[in-house]
Amino acid sequence: MAPALHGLLAGLTLIIAIGSQNVFVLRQGIRREHVLPVVAVCIASDAVLITAGAGGLGALVGAVPEVVVAARWAGVAFLLGYAALAARRALRGGESLQADGAGRGSGLGAVVATALALTWLNPHVYLDTVLLLGSIASTHGAQAWLFALGAVVGSTIWFTALGFGARGLGRVLSSARSWRVLDGVVAVTMVMVAGMLALG
């Protein structure tokens, strides 16, 4: 089971790093809004990408750098758009957690679409889960699938803990001012990630 443990640790190391996807899952968890679908989308997406990388897709994508470049600029555009929406919420305010713990909601379709976009339009996802984890998995030879399984388990643990554990912050973010601060942080984070992507 050493390859599986290696995959678990490597997966957690890459996934835990703060990024646009994690910020979105955290926000949905705090709002208690469509948390299960969002967590499921993130876990399923990681499972597909990790498995693809372990299966050799990482080498293929690495041989066609134009794919990574196109994904990078699509990610920059999306992140800047999402940052603008968060900044507008921060400036306008008016959002808070109600007494029953539910915030002003968004439709399930829109939330799932955002989760998918933050996952699949993020070049770091391909660099980390497909290229990097795929390369590490290949060093385990015939046991590469055990490495991939460990990485998928790591992803499952992280997103489940992040999405459902965030509910404990509900009291802290019970006021509109707290939400304005959170959205401001989200906006700044998105712009920083977009800037890093644009600079390569």
pLDDT tens column, 150-162: 989 999 999 999 8
Higher confidence at residue 61 or residue 36? 36
**Residue 122 above 80 pLDDT?**
no
**Residue 74 above 80 pLDDT?**
no
Confidence of residue 144 (pLDDT cuts 50, 70, 90): confident
Q: What does pTM read for this prediction? A: 0.68
Domain locations in the chain? Answer: 2-198
pLDDT digit string, tens, across residues 86-98: 888 888 875 544 4
Residue type, 141: G
Question: Quick one: residue 32, left, alpha or beta (phi over 0 = left, psi -120 to 50 = alpha)?
Answer: left
